[in-house]
Copies of this chain bind each other. A is one copy, B any other.
Amino acid sequence: MTTVSLPDDIFWMRRALALAERVLYSTAPNPRVGCVIVRDGQVLGEGATQPPGGPHAEICALRDAQARQAAVAGATMYVTLEPCSHFGRTPPCVDAVLAARPARVVVAIGDPNPLVNGQGLARLREAGIAVTTGVCAEEALAINAGFISRMSRGLPWVWMKMAASLDGRSALHNGMSQWITGAEARADGHHWRARSCVVLTGMGTVLKDDPQLNVRGVDTPRQPRKAVVDGRLSIPEDARLFDGGEVIIFTARDDAAKAARLADQNARVVVLPGPVPDRVDLQAMMRWFAQEQFNEVHVEAGAGLSGALVSAGCVDELLLYVAPVLLGDAAGMVRLPMLEHLDAAQRYEFIDTALLGADVRLRARVAQTWRELMQRVALSAPN
């Protein structure tokens, strides 16, 4: 196993990652994968995972090479995720790769799916194919953090979208909040909704803003599901988010009559009571999402649910849009218990900063969780 990434490998893997980025909205619950087949600095074929039931990236790239009448034998294949070695909705990609006889396969990260988990790479090595792993691993994990998280720890990857002023205020004292950030920041927020499997909010937001919670202004073949944390099962049956698409209502109250009425709105009621009366068990909710094959959860809620999710350790990443304005005495972003010492606060690590129109986007994630996932995708490939 080569541990040094050659510049060429990085170049071609980035192209494969760019292909994976193009299918960001359409592969769930499958991972987004890109594949490029190269010989002597020339692309022979390339492709990315098609929607569920369709071919995976490796197959698309091999078919592309075939269409171009390019022989893959002896070439190098770049894949952003370890090729699958099991029958799912499609046959194992590893079989197709073996049949094409490339000289070398370069993989960004291993697949912790227990049905794959290094077996794909082992079979390639057994057949005498050189295998390099770990090229652009951080970028590859970032594209599929949800899938990897679900496979390796039984939880989705959860990001929380917030918009606030420079001094951390998300609404005026009178509740006015709609336009703190500008059009570019709001459009970027819809991109994040679009890539998620579900958009989650709380009852406070439903009652205050009556949001649609759908993706608007993004060219996407699918809408994410919608979910509401509604401890008392008190959601109005005419809320705007009921638009025909499936809605999941998490509640602590077992109310069959209301659940039946909500079913008419295509809403599925999931009863997950926590230890506090009328409060949903948020950690159980996240496990439920993973069991139901939700990879990524996009949270867009008020200070109450946002704070509760942070306190329950359910938030992996923050997506914070900061408007260049000072609001002073106004509503805060997250309601958290009073801290006596800074050490007790939830710490994140910044991932990136971006200027979006007049606003800045800050992304930060829980460093420890990220490191654990990085270990899982590195170790699943045997040395």
A positions within 8 Å CB-CB of B: 164-169, 172-174, 176, 179-180, 307, 310, 318, 320, 322, 324-330, 332-342, 345-350, 353, 355, 358-360, 362, 364
Contact = CB atoms under 8 A, between A and B. Distances in A.
Closest A-B pairs by Cβ, 10 of them? A168-B168, A328-B336, A353-B353, A324-B348, A167-B168, A167-B333, A324-B364, A325-B345, A329-B338, A325-B347
Q: In the complex this chain forms, how many copies of it are found?
A: 2
Contact of A342 (B164, B172, B334): B172
B326 A336 contact: yes
Contact of A179 (B307, B342, B358): B342
A169 B346 CA distance: 13
| SS class, residues of chain A in contact with chain B | loop
A74 to B, nearest CB: 43
A298 to B, nearest CB: 18
6 contacts: A167-B333, A322-B362, A325-B348, A326-B348, A328-B334, A329-B337
A340 B172 contact: yes
Given A166-B320, A353-B355, 8 more contacts: A167-B332, A176-B342, A310-B326, A318-B326, A324-B348, A328-B335, A328-B339, A329-B336
A365 to B, nearest CB: 9
A341 B347 CA distance: 33
B180 A342 contact: yes
B340 A350 contact: no
A320 to B, nearest CB: 6
A331 B353 CA distance: 25
Given A166-B364, A320-B166, A332 B328 contact: yes
